[in-house]
Chain A
């Protein structure tokens, strides 16, 4: 699905073929064009990846090496910084906190968005359109517009600096997109299926759970991966609403590390690696799902 099956299209940067060009010359020209393209792509993709390699390289240096040349390539391979960040730097705790924030939020976002997406796509009731727009308004309003009042609201609700509070905020910021996304998937399903099930005596609930839900499993999968990545990466919610530091996830732990004048590069690099590694692994393994999710979520709605 993700690989292009089309014939080689025209190169946008090539001049038109001259009249009477022989087949041989054309293919030679095309081959040269393709090589040029690969060259450009290699240069650009290497440039893109350099910052990521820099993290890996710095994290794998020995302490002594970091002191001499903090940002150059590593010359010897050492797990010293990573082990130190993991044990002394408490990154194992931060990792656990990240999991405790990202996993429940992802599950909740999936459940809530799927239910709402189904309703907005297929179950008519008065005020449905208006309600949908209100939910989707969350996509347009920048988070910092209401993050300050939300801080005081959570405080008065007793949810400030608690895991449930942070999870609920993460969930609510994720459901706008989730609902929008799942609604597009449910809208695409044929009406006949629903009617046939109804004639067979299915209840509305059964139609939703047993007939429609399995048909959007690919959409749910895409949304799950995307949601997990964005909750894992979330920075502002834990920064503002978990100020005590007891439930600090990886993102805000890294931020706390960057404060102060004398920054200790080695554990910071190791911590950064610990933070991005799960995401990179997830992304590489599920890259088709991630990109397909982005595309369908973006193109469908």
Chain B
């Protein structure tokens, strides 16, 4: 009786999410697979089937490899930096009572701002003539380093990356603060009495205790790194001269600017295929560790 009533209510309650998922996620995702084997220009109602031509083109396309290497740079630096800086800030904040709310507000603020606003203001900071960065460099006598950061192909990707790191670090700070609150302080004190230096204490005593949370932040940041699109699209659009192209922006250009929907979609599928195994593996590891921690 109860079971049947539960099942009936369950099906009813889950219906909206299933409908939304099917119509606005699974269906377009399935269509993405279809688009990848046709030559669709967005207009013709019956695009010709081209088999694996889009995939063949993709593997032969030099810009794909360039974009992928930009993705790789982005994933590595864009994951390591927010986590490292976030952990450092969280450790500094650990046990600080006075002003801790204000500090946290400051550090977390960038995370709640819209990407477009972040892109605009960092565009001003990087402005070649009147930007804050070049002005500051000039003021401290490093004027020779000044340049048009977003217009210089060698620097543009890193300039956008710094902006992204600025926006993402707050998340790591907040999560690490909460994780540190559960760290056994007596254990840390004991290790200090035993003569463990700062880095050793961090590595052997603190990090193992926050490992599940650490892996969780790692997973989320990594997944975000694979799917980077907005901030690059907003700040440079993939330029100058494709210097900041990642698979996301390259796919967008192909699909919407060159009307090569089929090829653009194939490119977008590539990054998904690459990212999912990482996310699944990290999630498994995290789950295993967090279960160990709770003794379950």
Report the bound CA distance from A298 to B226 in whole Å: 19
Report the bound CA distance from A179 to B17 in whole Å: 8
- Chain A residues with CB below 8 A from B192, complex form: 10, 16-17
The contact string, 1 if C-beta is below 8 Å from chain A, for chain B 8-41, is: 1111011011101101111111011011000000
- Assuming the A-B contacts A145-B268, A145-B272, A279-B114, are A54 and B132 also in contact, with contact meaning beta carbons closer than 8 angstroms in the complex? yes
B216 at the A/B interface (Cβ < 8 Å)? yes
B77 at the A/B interface (Cβ < 8 Å)? no
Residue from B108, B131, B166, B175 within 8 A of A299 (CB atoms): B175
Residue of A nearest to B251 (CB): A144
- Shortest A119–chain B CB gap in Å is 4
- Chain A residues with CB below 8 A from B179, complex form: 299
- Assuming the A-B contacts A140-B279, A168-B20, are A295 and B178 also in contact, with contact meaning beta carbons closer than 8 angstroms in the complex? yes
Residue from B11, B188, B268 within 8 A of A9 (CB atoms): B188
- Shortest B234–chain A CB gap in Å is 7
- Chain A residues with CB below 8 A from B217, complex form: 298
Residue from B14, B101, B124, B202 within 8 A of A54 (CB atoms): B124
The contact string, 1 if C-beta is below 8 Å from chain B, for chain A 173-211, is: 101100100000000000000000010000111001000
Contact check, A116 vs B16: say whether CB atoms are below 8 A apart. Answer: yes
9-residue interface stretch from B51-59, B92-100, B150-158: B92-100
Interface of B is mostly: helix
Residue of A nearest to B121 (CB): A51
Contact check, B127 vs A71: say whether CB atoms are below 8 A apart. Answer: yes
Residue of B nearest to A291 (CB): B174
- Assuming the A-B contacts A148-B35, A298-B216, are A138 and B130 also in contact, with contact meaning beta carbons closer than 8 angstroms in the complex? no
Report the bound CA distance from A2 to B181 in whole Å: 10
A64 at the A/B interface (Cβ < 8 Å)? no
Chain A interfacial positions (CB closer than 8 Å to B): 2-4, 6-17, 34, 37-38, 40-41, 44-46, 48-52, 54-55, 58, 69-72, 111-113, 115-116, 118-120, 123-125, 128, 131, 134-135, 137-150, 152-153, 168-169, 171-173, 175-176, 179, 198, 203-205, 208, 229, 232-236, 250-252, 254-255, 258, 265, 268, 272, 275-276, 279-280, 283-284, 287, 290-291, 294-295, 298-299
8 of the cross-chain contacts (CB-CB < 8 Å) are A7-B185, A131-B18, A148-B261, A168-B20, A169-B24, A235-B114, A251-B115, A290-B112
